Structure 1
């Protein structure tokens, strides 16, 4: 009887030990997976940029901390202005490798699977802009005073003139659902100095003018939820940042001071807007990167440096909204910096005597 009791207790202890063992193993595995996923998510965030460090403009990729720099174009042509599509895991960029005029190409993160998309049009030097769903690439094409917005069908390679008008049309951004494009134009009753902001629907080509012709309205960007549009206007005497509904209604002024303030960029969660503030729009001006809440409150200078930050209006939020990437000449040449979203820990990522610019997040 005593042996049976002892054996029963041993079996219970064994089962309890097995249960505890498997519980601990499960917790360990879950923890290891979570840690691995976190590490992979951090490692997966890279930065593409343009540099002339090898004698001509090339596209490079580096880790988020500036390490592991790799030239992924590496040829004698001029390559630059990379744009990344997370959906397609591809970079679209401008290149002169087949002619003296810029053409649009596509490649993967390692510079492989190179494909020419557009080679026979006068491309205006703007970033090839992927649609969020990865199905289209938008770009401007034309000569000074007259340009149109074109779309490349990524699957078929077909190129479509979206705006097709004898005016100056410039691309500004995709709607989050990839169904509409924002652009600025001096068409209709606009003078050359008073461009207006328009939206156009891809499927129907329906076009809507969102701002009036009595002032300059430019530099528009869609909120992440597609409900609002931030833009720059001089309707009250100088360039300030405004916000409106996607149909142009309920216009609200967000900034109000004598400086030029423009180039609004929404944070990924839509709660904040980063923008450029500058005393004068000249080579001697000192652009600074500011941030504010999406209602205009809590406006703060993030870069706060006597040199020029956000040069060429190159600054962007990281995909998680925790960092801001920007181009600056604070070291005497063009360098790419990153800082926390509150302006802390500004770090030179490129740190090279050449000129480095046009940074793009890669996730």
Structure 2
């Protein structure tokens, strides 16, 4: 398995991104761990190296630490932080199942999804609610209170607003809420389609998301321009395209796609003109995030 884990990926990223690494989780070493791939060399590194299910990594803006979800304690997903070099592992959550989290751009907060306060059987269905906590795990507080699922948060660049997916009106749509828990509002006009997995652009003007609005059971990635109130479709694949995340320069969106039979990572330029396959490993690669350059 070790040779599989260390296998390189082709260097296909545009020159402007070759100084970056991308994190993801993958089962290329049998069980899911958090990895990085260097976009300039194709080198792949296993960061978590555990026998448990480690996934959904999100980075402190300094690039010096990341958080991830893991079932390593009693089999329930909890959120941990760890330094980029693997030291100073700390468990932040203890109750319920916790995942789908995001570190605020100012490094102060982590927004996350949790089932901790939900009654059974709703809790067993993983119908999470949205929460925030300080980056050290203190001041954990609930942001939403609805029996339908809320979660998968993304932060505005000023760290004052969270966008998230919610099923509170019958189908999944994207809502915004301020860090103080007030001013809940919908991002776009309501449609019968599902809108999930928002990702806020670095300049704050756009939100990428996943939707089936152009065909049932076909999930593609779209970009909503908040100023112009217009929508651009990024992917046109039959099948599933999920978990968009922006490059630091705001010119590319990275995502996972099933278009070749297993989950691989792809880049699409934000103008919708070009798509590039980043990973070719027969295992699954999911939840891509650009690793911030250490400051």
TM range (shorter): 0.7 to 0.9
Q: Equivalents in 1 of 2:223, 2:153: separation in Å?
A: 16
> For 2:281, what is the secondary structure of its paired residue?
coil
Greater Rg, structure 1 or structure 2? 1
Q: CA deviation at 1:236?
A: 9.3
Deviation at 1:335, TM superposition (A): 1.1
Aligned pair 1:77/2:52, yes or no? yes
State which of 100, 122, 129 in structure 1 corresponds to 2:96.
122
> 1:109/1:44 Cα in 2 relative to 1: closer, same or farther (>3 Å)?
farther
Larger mean Cα displacement after TM superposition, 73-82 or 252-261? 252-261
Deviation at 1:218, TM superposition (A): 7.6
Structure 2: stretches of 5+ with no match in the other structure: 1-14
Aligned residue in 2 for 1:361? 290
Q: TM-score, normalised by structure 2?
A: 0.73
Give the 3 Å change call, closer, same or farther, for CA 359–66 of structure 1 in structure 2: farther
Contact 1:184/1:218 (<8 A) preserved: no
Change (3 A) 1:279 1:65: farther
Distance 1:218 1:102 in 2: 15
Structure 1, gaps ≥5 residues long: 1-39, 164-182, 187-191, 196-216
Corresponding residue of 1:162: 141
Given the superposition, is the C-alpha separation of residues 317 and 101 from structure 1 closer, same or farther in structure 2, using an over 3 Å criterion? same
Residue matched to 1:287: 219
Question: What do residues 321-347 of structure 1 show as CA deviations (whole Å, max 9, x unaligned)?
Answer: 011011110011111111111123312
Q: Which residue of 2 aligns with 1:350?
A: 279
Native 8 Å contact 1:261 1:276 kept in 2: yes
Q: Deviations over 1:61-95 (max 9, x none)?
A: 11236711111222322221111102361011123
- The aligned residue for residue 133 of structure 1 is 106
> Match of 1:327?
256
CA distance in 2, matches of 1:229, 1:105: 21
Stretch of structure 1 that moved more, 143-152 or 293-302: 143-152
Q: Mapping of 1:123-202 within 5 angstroms? A: 123-127=97-101, 129-139=102-112, 140=114, 142=116, 145=122, 149=131, 151-154=133-136, 159-163=138-142, 183-186=143-146, 192-193=147-148
Q: Is the 8 A contact 2:105 2:159 kept in 1?
A: no
Contact kept? 2:83, 2:89, Cα under 8 Å: no
Q: How far apart, CA to CA, are the structure 2 residues paired with 1:269 and 1:120?
A: 34
Aligned residue pairs total 267
User: Does the CA contact (< 8 Å) of 2:56 and 2:287 recur in 1?
Assistant: yes
Q: Which has the higher contact order (CA 8 A, sep 6+)?
A: 2
- RMSD of aligned C-alpha atoms? 3.8
Q: Which residue matches 1:269?
A: 203
Matched, 1:307 2:239: yes
Give the number of the structure whose residues are more often helix, by fraction: 1
1:77/1:97 contact within 8 Å kept? yes
Q: Does 1:55 align with 2:30?
A: yes
Is the alpha carbon distance of 1:335 and 1:295 closer, same or farther for their aligned partners in structure 2, counting shifts above 3 Å? same
Counterpart CA distance in 2 for 1:242 and 1:359 is 22
Q: Is the 8 A contact 1:48 1:59 kept in 2?
A: yes
User: C-alpha displacement at 1:302, in angstroms?
Assistant: 0.8
Q: 2 CA distance for matches of 1:92 and 1:122?
A: 17
Seen in structure 2, the aligned counterparts of structure 1 residues 135 and 300 have a Cα distance that, compared at 3 Å, is closer
